[in-house]
């Protein structure tokens, strides 16, 4: 199993980093303005991203926990079936997403939740309130509540790692991939590096499919 884990240790994080980097164009478009309103100085920008890192890693930790508990706390036969179920559902979701050009699952009550999110953020970014600039890190941390499918699909995929630390680590790698877009120059990077935003849904779908297929592959197919 030695080569197998070395492959995963190298391949998976680099794949995640690349994907995150290439897809961060839309991040810049959607959140660029928010970043500007949340942070006025370099120091505040730094805080914003630190906040983001913290909550991304937190999300990863939780998803890894879920994966670990669901998959490994169950009896062997059930856990195998559960693993298969998760994997197949990912593949199915990914396939649907690929065909339809984006997964849009209507969640009941999503509008209400969104309204609260908007109100919360408005409060935090209100320019007239004093001390607003201390909120940079908080805003960054709370940005996970902005409905972003790109982020959520990575979180979902990290469930398959079934290890809270590993999942947190992968989400940190994802965070690193989004940095250039939001820090260096959104416009410049977008024109030079990034994939067209229209490709993102397909990428997300592929990611889900890979997240479903790869663990199975790793488990059952021996590499020579």
**DSSP letter at 75?**
-
Give the shortest CB-134-to-another protein separation in angstroms.
17
Picking from 160, 134, 163, the residue whose alpha carbon sits closest to that of residue 212 is: 160
- Taking the alpha carbons at both ends of the chain, their separation in whole angstroms is 11
- For the segment 7-26, give every residue that binds another protein (CB under 8 A): 7, 10-11, 26
Tell me: does residue 175 bind another protein (CB under 8 A). Answer: no
Minimum separation from the CB atom of position 41 to another protein (A)? 6
Q: Which is nearer to another protein, 75 or 127 (CB)?
A: 127
Q: How far apart are CA 63 and CA 69, in angstroms?
A: 10
Binder of another protein out of 153, 158, 167, 178 (CB under 8 A): 153
CB of 29 or CB of 165, closer to another protein? 29
Among 66, 96, 146, 216, binds another protein (CB under 8 A): 146
CA–CA separation, 94 vs 103, rounded Å? 8
Q: Which x/- pattern, by CB under 8 A, does the window 92-131 give for another protein?
A: -----x---xxxxx-x--x---x--xx--xx--xxx----
Listed in sequence order, the residues at least 6 apart from 145 whose beta carbon sits closer than 8 Å to its beta carbon are 117, 120
Compute the least distance from the CB of residue 18 to another protein, in Å.
10
Which position among 16, 19, 21, 28 is part of the footprint of another protein (CB under 8 A)? 28
How near is the Cβ of 5 to another protein at its closest, in Å? 10
Nearest to 16 by CA among 178, 188, 184: 178
Q: Exposure string (b/e) for 25-58, b if CB count within 10 Å is 16 or more? A: bbbbeebeebbeebbeeeebbebbbebbbbbbbe
Torsion sign across C-alpha atoms 141, 144, 150, 153:
positive
Binding mask 29-68 for another protein (x = CB under 8 A): xxxxxx-xx-xxxx--x-----------------------
The distance from CA 140 to its chain's CA centroid, rounded to whole angstroms, is: 14
For tokens 């649907």, name the residue: 96
Nearest to 207 by CA among 23, 19, 13: 19
Contact set with another protein (CB under 8 A): 2-3, 6-7, 10-11, 26, 28-34, 36-37, 39-42, 45, 97, 101-105, 107, 110, 114, 117-118, 121-122, 125-127, 146-150, 152-153, 156, 185-188, 190-191, 196-202, 204, 223-224
């Amino acid at each position: 199993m030695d080569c197998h884990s070395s492959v995963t240790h190298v391949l998976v994080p680099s794949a995640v980093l690349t994907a995150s980097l290439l897809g961060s164009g839309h991040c810049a478009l959607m959140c660029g303005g928010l970043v500007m309103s949340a942070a006025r100085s370099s120091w505040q920008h730094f805080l914003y991203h630190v906040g983001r890192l913290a909550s991304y890693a937190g999300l990863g930790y939780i998803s890894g926990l879920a994966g670990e508990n669901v998959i490994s706390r169950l009896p062997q036969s059930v856990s195998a079936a559960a693993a298969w179920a998760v994997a197949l559902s990912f593949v199915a979701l990914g396939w649907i997403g690929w065909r339809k050009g984006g997964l849009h699952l209507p969640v009941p009550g999503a509008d209400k939740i969104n309204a609260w999110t908007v109100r919360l953020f408005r409060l935090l970014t209100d320019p007239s309130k004093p001390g607003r600039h201390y909120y940079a890190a908080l805003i960054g941390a709370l940005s996970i509540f902005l409905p972003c499918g790109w982020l959520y699909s990575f979180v979902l995929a990290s469930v398959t790692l079934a290890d809270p630390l590993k999942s947190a680590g992968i989400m940190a790698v994802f965070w690193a991939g989004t940095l250039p877009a939001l820090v260096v120059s959104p416009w410049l990077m977008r024109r030079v590096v990034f994939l067209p935003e229209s490709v993102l849904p397909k990428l997300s779908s592929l990611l889900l499919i890979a997240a479903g297929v790869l663990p199975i592959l790793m488990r059952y197919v021996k590499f020579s």
